[in-house]
Structure 1
């Protein structure tokens, strides 16, 4: 799961040269790591901890705390005493609420609190203006308080697998959001036009929601290289999607698309196009301009014919046509197979 891995992968573990010594009885041996004679890290994932002792609050020099996969139900307010903390990992616990005091950890750069029991987050979280990655995935969050736009340094945000009723308009005001934005599996019915202002974002996941449309402004997301919108209710794509000239993957499986805009031929960097399970009746002629395409999935669509020009796509390696009822075998199939493309009928 992306939410599980992103903060840890973005932040190096303490150096191997750090001195590791046995910790107090509440932590596994070697969990507390020292540098220059002072504790700088607590690394105790999966240690079975049900609570945190107050003694941890005395380790004010800690910079890295990894408590993933324990049995914690609360985060005590005294955690704010760890004012040098840069990394706090709490994935896979049973935490029902984050304390408002968390907002006093102003040095924090990576916060992972996915796969817990959160239903809300405190508005003091937005005081953490040095955050570069924030993972709140796999919780029960329905709404976010105002103030998200204060996280001006945020590069990665994971809100997937929650119960968000809407995407905050403020999400478009995160100028450093460049790496990932996960909003999958929530249930919202629309996304704000402000998404189009995220012109440096590389990866956007809107899968498994109830979207009937994408905003026209999506054409402004010039940095996108991967867009996932599968398992929604899209009936059409905006013409502006053709402006995403750097897009390499477009995942549209299991929507309600009966047609594609002619502008899709502008996706000159597109390598992977997944249209499986849509009621597509025809492909636009412009698809023959997708000269970087290597994988085209048209399974379970309502196509009756294909453009002959598909045979001229120079890099096409796999064309999946299973469960498509053609009037006759498309003319592009034979020449594609003869040059080594895998065509599945």
Structure 2
């Protein structure tokens, strides 16, 4: 009987315990739902309450059933049952009882210290000592040209991979990443908690940024956000009066947790910068080897992608192309004479002003040949193998400062086009030029010197207007061509004209009508005769001082010579006679007369042949003629210093033909007397290679000459 009663008692106790536990579990579930509801309602109507204000009563008595008494559950019992429920896995919740230090509040929910949750798929939050710290999900950098984010994912993937996974994708360009700087209001609790999350997010952003060049920008951005947050807090005080605002320093004056974390981040960045500078010195030669690393390196800063260089940028000096062998450089000049070059060397030096490429085998000049040396002032390309086809139409156009261009000794058939208007001197001697059109030289208004000797130019292929645009031209050389007449259309600025070694037969009256400044005319080695020179060809020229008519077909000294003539060269003709008074109209008078290598005889020189030049002539060359005696009139030449009579047939020198005896009255004596005095200025007298017997010369023959060593008498041709 006693045994039966004992067993019945045990069964009754077991049933009561089971019923009590089930009821308690139900009560706890209802109380938690009620507490969560009350928290949400309180936060929306009254504002959020401080964590340090504990509630004195959390749960009211709830009737479980008619056979169970009312139960008041305190905080400790609630904590035990909450732990048991959590371990059982029936309801998993981060809500905890208020009043515990270190807990956090987010969206009306109470969180443990060190609790972690995700308000949105790509943001993770942490409860740390009563503060909520949130950050975006870290993503690995990708090395593909196009990245996209599949729907429902946080991190980007390569477009070729994602296209096979999901057709609904989001492009990186269209996605606005969430960061701790500006979270959505519904994502992370109240503004005060978001401020703490921002500080932690900025710390993580600075630590993860490997590009040191962005450090200053990040710090400036962080300071700006601090000022904005400070204004936010001042506004929050108005709406949350019951809360204690978060300050940067606590009651004891120590820095807040956020400032300590940011200071630590700054120290790490400074250390990282020092290490990066040390590493970059050794990596200087490797930092530009891979374009893929420079272009595709992506560093994620709080959910945003930035392209930054993987290394600290260090300037690299420009690579200079070494000069070819045989070239030398001096200051602003490069010389590659006879260096066997086949093309213009690739030089890049804006300071270079002179380039000498004489004696190479260069065949072409492309349009871009001088792009690296645009400030050249002088180019010498003489003695190469240049052709007109090989020179680009704009090869010289870039040279805006070019003044001298030498192209002698090439194979050009045309003058290069598009020459710079700054040119002052052009030499294209010894080429194959066979035409000059009226537009060839039209832009060369500053050209002073033009040399076109040794080509195939003549009056038929040179336009009468070819030289008209050359308003500054003063020096023109057209020797060794095939001209038969003086070229037409010479500019009025011309001062020196060289037409030697042509086939000129005539000098017409109109040749020099517009050349009032001409000073020198060289017509040697042509086919001129004195009767083919028009009387008015140059007689009225006021500045023409020198004429060279050597090696033509002249039989007489030409008449109607220019009035201003000072220098007349008639060497190598067939002149037999000097007409009388031929120099008489010249003013101030002829100074230099060269008649060497002609056929002058005693009969061809009249007593008045040198009339008009007695008081002006300084040099007289009559050597290599057929004179048998010293011509008349030499003793009248008071300024004569150089006289050549060598290589003639002279047999004797009469005393008065060179030195004339003068008489004068001596006022110091009462009796007048005649005495000789020397007044000749002769410094050089050549009489060698004649037929003079020096022993038979009169002692007064050279008495007017200041020094006898100035007289050359030997050798002689005595038979």
TM-score normalised by length of structure 2:
0.38
Q: Does 1:27 align with 2:371?
A: no
Report the equivalent of 1:74. 388
Deviation (angstroms), 1:324: 3.2
Aligned residue for 1:88, secondary structure, equals: strand
Is contact 2:342-2:363 (8 Å) kept?
A: no
Report the equivalent of 2:550. 207
Q: Does 1:146 align with 2:461?
A: no
For residues 145-203 of structure 1, what are the alpha-carbon distances to aligned partners after superposition, in whole Å with 9 as ceiling and x for unaligned?
Answer: 4245664533333333444323345345334434x543333444455643445533454
Q: Does 1:264 align with 2:633?
A: no
TM-score normalised by length of structure 1:
0.71
Deviation (angstroms), 1:120: 4.9
Deviation (angstroms), 1:113: 2.2
Report the equivalent of 2:431. 116
Q: Does 1:90 align with 2:407?
A: yes
Gap change, CA 1:53 and 1:89, over 3 Å in 2: same
Deviation (angstroms), 1:292: 2.6
- Measure, in 1, the Cα distance between the counterparts of 2:479 and 2:335: 38
Deviation (angstroms), 1:248: 4.1
Is contact 2:687-2:711 (8 Å) kept?
A: no
Report the equivalent of 1:45. 358
Task: Identify which of structures 1 and 2 has the higher relative contact order when contacts are C-alpha pairs closer than 8 Å and 6+ apart.
Answer: 1
Gap change, CA 1:314 and 1:194, over 3 Å in 2: same
Q: How many residues align?
A: 320
Gap change, CA 1:221 and 1:99, over 3 Å in 2: same
Deviation (angstroms), 1:283: 5.5
Q: Does 1:314 align with 2:685?
A: no
Report the equivalent of 1:156. 475
Report the equivalent of 2:422. 107
Of 238, 241, 253 in structure 1, the residue corresponding to residue 583 of structure 2 is 241
CA RMSD of aligned residues (A): 4.1
Report the equivalent of 1:194. 537
Q: Between Structure 1 and Structure 2, whose CA radius of gyration is higher?
A: 2
Is contact 1:40-1:64 (8 Å) kept?
A: yes
Aligned residue for 1:54, secondary structure, equals: coil
- Measure, in 2, the Cα distance between the counterparts of 1:28 and 1:213: 57
Of 558, 565, 569 in structure 2, the residue corresponding to residue 228 of structure 1 is 569
Deviation (angstroms), 1:126: 5.8
Aligned residue for 1:340, secondary structure, equals: helix
Is contact 2:350-2:375 (8 Å) kept?
A: no
- Measure, in 1, the Cα distance between the counterparts of 2:445 and 2:627: 45
- Measure, in 2, the Cα distance between the counterparts of 1:150 and 1:330: 63
Of 33, 37, 54 in structure 1, the residue corresponding to residue 367 of structure 2 is 54
Gap change, CA 1:206 and 1:340, over 3 Å in 2: same
Q: Does 1:273 align with 2:652?
A: no
Deviation (angstroms), 1:63: 3.6
Deviation (angstroms), 1:241: 3.1
Gapped runs of 5+ residues in structure 1? 1-15
- Measure, in 2, the Cα distance between the counterparts of 1:29 and 1:333: 72
Report the equivalent of 2:267. none
Deviation (angstroms), 1:230: 1.1
